[in-house]
């Protein structure tokens, strides 16, 4: 989230604890959200027919997968750049 959004809604911070999604290896997932974000998260979970905890867990996994793909792509780009630089100096 951008700093502007954080400052805009920091007074509306809400921290709620929800039961963990099924098959989770732990008992509780703590979700920290800011007023409008929590409302949107609840609406999206309801629209998808999932519990808030299951929806949040899936969203976290999707974010982690996107992050790993971006990291992998950046790592591959750096490796190619280093290989090209080494080849030019030979």
Domain regions of the chain by residue span? 3-88
Q: What is the pLDDT of residues 54-89, one digit of tens each?
A: 998 998 899 999 999 999 999 999 999 888 877 776
Q: Which long-range contacts (CB under 8 A, 24 or more apart) does 43-52 make?
A: 51/18, 51/19, 51/21, 52/18
Instruction: Report pTM.
Output: 0.47
């Amino acid at each position: 989230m951008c700093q502007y959004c954080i400052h805009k809604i920091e007074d509306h911070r809400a921290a709620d604890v929800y039961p963990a999604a099924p098959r989770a290896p732990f008992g509780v997932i703590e979700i920290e959200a800011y007023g409008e974000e929590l409302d949107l998260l609840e609406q999206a979970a309801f629209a998808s027919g999932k519990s808030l905890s299951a929806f949040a867990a899936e969203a976290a996994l999707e974010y982690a997968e996107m992050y790993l793909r971006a990291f992998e792509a950046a790592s591959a780009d750096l490796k190619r750049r280093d290989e090209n630089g080494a080849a030019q100096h030979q």
